[in-house]
Chains A and B, each alone.
Chain A
């Protein structure tokens, strides 16, 4: 796959893509710092007074409980990456698997079943689906992840299905069949690798969607149950903002925006770099 080198050089030549990579890189370092136990460890301690102003002691000030907002917003980077990565990886794998099966066995009962399942999941308004899953699972912390994976795969699945349908009729697949390779081997070794440009972009978009969704769900009380996240900080801040305390709101929304912007820029640049025909459209 010499396309990889080409993709990389096109990505490096795109200022928006480089900016996206840099932003995501900085956040990854922060998350690594939290994972390693160096950063954000004091997120739960009441280390100051209530609503202290930003200063040398507490860079972003403190919240109503006297907890350090900087520590909390940095620790939330880890929460965001954990939710984003789990949901993005699982939903992309599921979408790739179901999309590939339904494209490969197009117009059979396999395809019919997968497309029906996709139609059903797309028909239930997302937040209601999450609410229903959370309701059925009563307070289990992974209800949110499960609901997102169960619904996010459908877009990836649709795109992979269309691509596999296209690849199925091409010469290299026919050749592989003639040689006598099994369906499973052709799909895994020869067809799916050719959908990687879809998977990478869709995975990045799923990551953005998961992080954004966590914020709404945590506000609705359906998201992160213990720990801290930007969603929980924003939910906290809805009580503080009317009283004129903006530090929690500014810290959480600023970090959230920067990370989402980084991933969105990266997704766009990846799309252009891996599919130059589309980019020149």
Chain B
């Protein structure tokens, strides 16, 4: 139980750290918001008033405490650009991003596992070489290039012209498939190289272990070795990788996919906030995703302690 307590303490310290860094960057060092909020020809009293509202007269630690309170209670204020409350903005955009990212995220991992297994089972032979070369090639292509290429090939008259060029007019399953396919293919393409390389290394190590050799020596069928020994024993690193990459792939990926395809998710909202310097939105997104990441990480580690006796030691 002491290790559980120390994991929790570690999580708390990380939350304090990520919120402190986003506070430093976005609030303390961030540009003065007074004149964004105030019209022209404001009187000195009005300026003073807005500055007090923004808490600029408060000392450093009090403002950090206020930022923590805002994040904890989800009392995030309103966007400077649209006046929409940040909470409503998140509730509107996050589901769209999840719908957009989940298929590609899952397929990218499944394909990576399948290719990694293929390579590991044929290690050093042709299958392995082909998979390795393909994954290095995929790793060398920029996400932006992949997106543009897939759009041209699938959604314009210069290619197959099968899908809408951009946008997100989803009102049912068919239209969902129409709009989600091209971004999904781009996401799978861009993640599969890294995933395959990771899973290949994992499975190569697992196949090389003594108990696998023993099982083979006793004549255990390949299929049994694959499912019962290799995959089952690799579950912890697989789940770790998937859990840990959720916030990163979903946020970073949606930032690029949504701003490129004009999809109204959290990525596009963040992109617009970046370009217009919309501080309330930015500080909420940065703070909340970082906290979510730490929570997922801590929960995953605690879960292992319950599930896998080897981790608890």
Contact = CB atoms under 8 A, between A and B. Distances in A.
Given A123-B297, A261-B137, A131 B282 contact: yes
Given A120-B17, A238-B260, A264-B140, A220 B255 contact: yes
Interface stretch (A61-69, A133-141, A159-167, A189-197): A133-141
Contacts of B255: 127-128, 220
Contacts of A117: 17
Contacts of B17: 116-117, 119-120, 123
B294 A123 contact: yes
Interface in B1-53: 10, 13-14, 17-18, 21-22, 24-26, 29-31
A198 interface: no
B162 to A, nearest CB: 16
B192 interface: no
B142 interface: yes
Nearest to B208: A281
Contacts of B275: 221
Contact of B274 (A125, A131, A238, A241): A131
A117 B18 CA distance: 9
Interface string B119-141: 00000000000000000110111
B149 to A, nearest CB: 8
Contacts of B139: 260, 264
Contacts of A242: 156, 165
Contact-size category for B: 35 or more
B198 interface: no
A216 B144 contact: yes
A144 interface: no
Contacts of A220: 255-256, 259, 271, 274
A257 B156 contact: no
Interface in A245-281: 246, 249, 253, 256-257, 260-261, 264-265, 268, 281
Most buried by B among A125, A129, A134: A125
19 contacts: A116-B17, A117-B17, A119-B294, A123-B18, A123-B293, A125-B252, A128-B255, A129-B286, A134-B274, A135-B25, A135-B31, A136-B29, A138-B31, A208-B140, A220-B274, A221-B275, A222-B274, A249-B148, A265-B136
Given A124-B18, A127-B256, A135-B25, 5 more contacts: A127-B255, A133-B25, A216-B142, A242-B156, A253-B142
Interface of A: 116-117, 119-121, 123-129, 131-138, 208, 212, 215-216, 219-222, 231, 234-235, 237-238, 241-242, 244, 246, 249, 253, 256-257, 260-261, 264-265, 268, 281
